[in-house]
Amino acid sequence: MPGHLLSRRYFLGAACAAPLAFRGARAIATTATRVVALDLLPTELLLTLGVTPLAIANAPLYRRLVAEPALPDAVPDLGPLTEPNAEFLQVLRPDAILLAAWQSGSVERLSRIAPLVPLQTIAGTVPATAHAAALLREVGALTARTTEAEHWIARMEREMGQAREALGSRDTRPLYVCRFAANGRNVALFGGNGLVGDVIRQLGLRNAWKGRVNASGVVSVGIEQLAADPEARIIHFDRGAETVRAMENLSRSALWRALPAVRAGRLTTMPVVYPSGGVSTAIRFARQLAEALTQEVSNG
What percentage of the chain has pLDDT greater than the value 90?
80
Q: In the prediction, which pLDDT does 28 show?
A: 60
- Closest C-alpha to 181, from 225, 211, 214: 225
Q: Where are the domains of the chain?
A: 8-121, 170-299
* Confidence band of 6 (pLDDT split at 50, 70, 90): very low
Task: Give pTM, 2 decimals.
Answer: 0.86
Q: What is the pLDDT of residues 224-241, one digit of tens each?
A: 999 999 999 999 999 999
pLDDT of residue 22: 33
d(CA 147, CA 182): 42
* Rounded average pLDDT over 59-83: 93
Specify whether domain 8-121 bears CATH 3.40.50.1980.
yes
Least confident of 101-105, 127-131, 157-161, 258-262: 101-105
pLDDT-based confidence at 172, cuts 50/70/90?
confident
Asked if the domains 8-121 and 170-299 are classified in one and the same CATH topology, the answer is yes
pLDDT at 5: 35
Peptide bond into 69 cis (omega under 30): yes
pLDDT higher than 90, residue 186:
yes
Among 84-88, 171-175, 195-199, 282-286, the least confident range:
171-175
Task: Name the CATH topology of 170-299.
Answer: Rossmann fold (3.40.50)
3-state SS string for the chain: CCCCECCHHHHHHHCCCCCEEECCEEEECCCCCCEEECCHHHHHHHHHCCCCCCEECCHHHHHHHCCCCCCCCCCCECCCCCCCCHHHHHHHCCCEEEEEHHHCCCCHHHHHCCCEEEECCCCCCCCHHHHHHHHHHHHHHHCCCHHHHHHHHHHHHHHHHHHHHHHCCCCCCCEEEEEECCCCCEEEEECCCCHHHHHHHHCCCCECCCCCCCCCCEEEEEHHHHHCCCCCEEEEEECCHHHHHHHHHHHCCHHHHHCHHHHCCCEEEEECCCCCCCHHHHHHHHHHHHHHHHHHHHHC
For residue 171, name the pLDDT band (cuts at 50, 70, 90): low
User: How confident is the prediction for the chain on average, in pLDDT?
Assistant: 88
pLDDT top residue among 10 and 160: 160
The amino acid that residue 1 corresponds to is: M
